[in-house]
Chain A
Amino acid sequence: MKDSAKSVTPLAASSIPCTINGHEASLNVPPAKRLLHVLRDDLAMTGAKRSCEIGRCGACMVMVDGVPVNSCLTMAYQCSGKSITTIEGVSAQAGGIDPIQRAFLEEGGFQCGYCTPGMIISVKALLDHNPDPTSLEIEEALSGNICRCTGYGGIKRAVQKAIEWRKEAYESESIRD
Chain B
Amino acid sequence: MLLNKKGSGARWRVRPDGPDKVTGKLAYLTDMTAPDMLIGRVLRSPHAHARITAIRTEHAAALDGVHAVITHKDVPGLNRFGIAHPDQPVLCEDRVRYVGDAVAAVAADTLEIAEHALRLIEVDYEPLPIVEDAEYALTDEAPQLHPQGNLLHRNGFQRGDIAAGFDSCAHVVEETYYTPRQMHTYMETEGGLFIPGEDGRLTVYSPTQHGFMDRMQLARILAIPQSEIRIVSSPIGGSFGGKDELNVQPYGALLARITKRPVKLHNSRWESVRAGLKRHPMKITMKTGVDDSGRLIAHQVRIIADTGPYATLGAEVLNFAVEHVIGPYRYEHLDVEGFSVYTNNGMSGEFRGFGGNQAIFALEGQFDRLAEKLGMDPWELRLRNMRRSDDPGPFDQPIALTEGAKQVSAAMTSSPLWQERSNPAAKAAQDEPWIRTGIGAAFTMHGAGLGFGIPDPAGGRLTLAADGKIEAVFGYEEFGQGLIASLEQMLIEQFGFASGDIRIVIGDTDIVPESGSTTASRATSMMWKSLQNLRPLFEDAVLGKAADILQLPASRLRFGEGGVYAIEASPEPDNPKCLMTYPALAAACWEPVTSSTQFHFPTSDTQKVGAHFLYTYSAVAVKVEVNQLTGRVRVLHQYHAVAAGPVINPQGFLGQIEGGSSMAIGFALTEDAVMSGGQYLTKNLDTYLVPTIAEHRGTIDVQPIEELPEEDNYGPRGIGEVGSVTLAPAIAAAIYDAVGVRVTKLPIDSELLLAQSFDSFLDKAVSGE
- Chain A residues whose C-beta falls within 8 Å of the C-beta of B186 in the assembled complex: 112, 114, 148
Given A6-B63, A105-B15, do A113 and B21 touch, yes or no (CB 8 Å)? yes
Query: Which of A116, A139, A149 gathers the greatest number of chain B CB atoms within 10 Å?
Result: A149
Shortest CB-to-CB span from B244 to chain A, Å, is 15
Q: Does B31 contact A (CB under 8 A)?
A: yes
CB atoms of A44 and B33 under 8 A apart: yes
Q: Give A59's nearest chain B residue, CB to CB.
A: B187
Given A112-B237, A146-B692, A148-B238, do A8 and B188 touch, yes or no (CB 8 Å)? no
Q: Does B120 contact A (CB under 8 A)?
A: yes
Q: Does B643 contact A (CB under 8 A)?
A: no
| Interface range for B | 35 or more
Shortest CB-to-CB span from B481 to chain A, Å, is 7
**In whole angstroms, how far apart are the Cα atoms of A157 and B6 in the complex?**
12
CB atoms of B480 and A113 under 8 A apart: yes
Q: Does B686 contact A (CB under 8 A)?
A: yes
Shortest CB-to-CB span from A54 to chain B, Å, is 5
- Chain A residues whose C-beta falls within 8 Å of the C-beta of B62 in the assembled complex: 6
Q: Which of A47, A112, A139 interacts with B694 by CB under 8 Å?
A: A139
Query: Which of A106, A112, A156 gathers the greatest number of chain B CB atoms within 10 Å?
Result: A112
Shortest CB-to-CB span from B413 to chain A, Å, is 24
CB atoms of B112 and A8 under 8 A apart: yes
Enumerate B86-129 residues with CB–CB distance to A below 8 Å. 110, 112-113, 116, 119-120, 122
Enumerate B1-52 residues with CB–CB distance to A below 8 Å. 5, 12, 14-15, 17-28, 30-31, 33
Shortest CB-to-CB span from A164 to chain B, Å, is 13
Q: Does A22 contact B (CB under 8 A)?
A: no
Q: Does B185 contact A (CB under 8 A)?
A: yes
- Chain B residues whose C-beta falls within 8 Å of the C-beta of A56 in the assembled complex: 684-686
Q: Does B603 contact A (CB under 8 A)?
A: no
CB atoms of B684 and A52 under 8 A apart: yes
**In whole angstroms, how far apart are the Cα atoms of A86 and B24 in the complex?**
9
**In whole angstroms, how far apart are the Cα atoms of A135 and B698 in the complex?**
11
CB atoms of A107 and B187 under 8 A apart: no
CB atoms of B187 and A115 under 8 A apart: yes
Q: Does B574 contact A (CB under 8 A)?
A: no
- Chain B residues whose C-beta falls within 8 Å of the C-beta of A90 in the assembled complex: 23
Q: Does B268 contact A (CB under 8 A)?
A: yes
Shortest CB-to-CB span from A17 to chain B, Å, is 24
Enumerate B172-211 residues with CB–CB distance to A below 8 Å. 184-189
What sequence of 0s and 1s flags, for each residue 35-52 of chain A, a beta carbon within 8 Å of any chain B beta carbon? Answer: 000001000101111111
What sequence of 0s and 1s flags, for each residue 111-144 of chain A, a beta carbon within 8 Å of any chain B beta carbon? Answer: 1111111001000000000000001001110111
Q: Does B661 contact A (CB under 8 A)?
A: yes
Q: Give B240's nearest chain A residue, CB to CB.
A: A148
Q: Does B156 contact A (CB under 8 A)?
A: no
CB atoms of B23 and A3 under 8 A apart: no
Inter-chain contact total with CB atoms closer than 8 Å: 200
CB atoms of B700 and A153 under 8 A apart: yes
CB atoms of A97 and B23 under 8 A apart: yes
Enumerate B53-69 residues with CB–CB distance to A below 8 Å. 59, 62-65
Q: Does B299 contact A (CB under 8 A)?
A: no
- Chain B residues whose C-beta falls within 8 Å of the C-beta of A7 in the assembled complex: 63-65
Q: Give A139's nearest chain B residue, CB to CB.
A: B694
Q: Does B659 contact A (CB under 8 A)?
A: yes
Q: Give A37's nearest chain B residue, CB to CB.
A: B111
Q: Give A157's nearest chain B residue, CB to CB.
A: B5
CB atoms of B17 and A113 under 8 A apart: yes
Shortest CB-to-CB span from A150 to chain B, Å, is 5
**In whole angstroms, how far apart are the Cα atoms of A129 and B18 in the complex?**
26
- Chain A residues whose C-beta falls within 8 Å of the C-beta of B691 in the assembled complex: 151
**In whole angstroms, how far apart are the Cα atoms of A115 and B28 in the complex?**
12
Q: Does B269 contact A (CB under 8 A)?
A: yes
Q: Does B247 contact A (CB under 8 A)?
A: no
**In whole angstroms, how far apart are the Cα atoms of A144 and B31 in the complex?**
23
CB atoms of B269 and A105 under 8 A apart: no
Shortest CB-to-CB span from A11 to chain B, Å, is 8
What sequence of 0s and 1s flags, for each residue 1-13 of chain A, a beta carbon within 8 Å of any chain B beta carbon? Answer: 1010111101000
Shortest CB-to-CB span from A50 to chain B, Å, is 7
Q: Does A81 contact B (CB under 8 A)?
A: no
CB atoms of A51 and B187 under 8 A apart: yes
**In whole angstroms, how far apart are the Cα atoms of A97 and B26 in the complex?**
14
CB atoms of A8 and B23 under 8 A apart: no
Shortest CB-to-CB span from A79 to chain B, Å, is 19
- Chain B residues whose C-beta falls within 8 Å of the C-beta of A86 in the assembled complex: 24
**In whole angstroms, how far apart are the Cα atoms of A1 and B20 in the complex?**
50
CB atoms of A108 and B15 under 8 A apart: yes
- Chain B residues whose C-beta falls within 8 Å of the C-beta of A40 in the assembled complex: 31
CB atoms of A151 and B696 under 8 A apart: yes
Q: Give A120's nearest chain B residue, CB to CB.
A: B22
**In whole angstroms, how far apart are the Cα atoms of A65 and B63 in the complex?**
42
CB atoms of B120 and A143 under 8 A apart: no
CB atoms of B187 and A146 under 8 A apart: yes
Given A56-B686, A112-B480, A151-B658, do A49 and B187 touch, yes or no (CB 8 Å)? yes
Shortest CB-to-CB span from A47 to chain B, Å, is 3
Q: Does A64 contact B (CB under 8 A)?
A: no
**In whole angstroms, how far apart are the Cα atoms of A152 and B694 in the complex?**
9
- Chain B residues whose C-beta falls within 8 Å of the C-beta of A151 in the assembled complex: 655, 658-663, 691, 696, 700
| 10 further contact pairs, Cβ within 8 A, besides A46-B24, A56-B684, A114-B480 | A3-B120, A49-B187, A86-B24, A104-B18, A108-B654, A114-B187, A117-B22, A138-B693, A139-B697, A148-B663
Residue pairs across A and B with Cβ atoms less than 8 A apart, 5 shown, are A49-B237, A54-B684, A105-B18, A108-B5, A150-B658
Give 4 closest A-B pairs by Cβ, nearest first. Answer: A47-B24, A112-B480, A113-B21, A114-B237
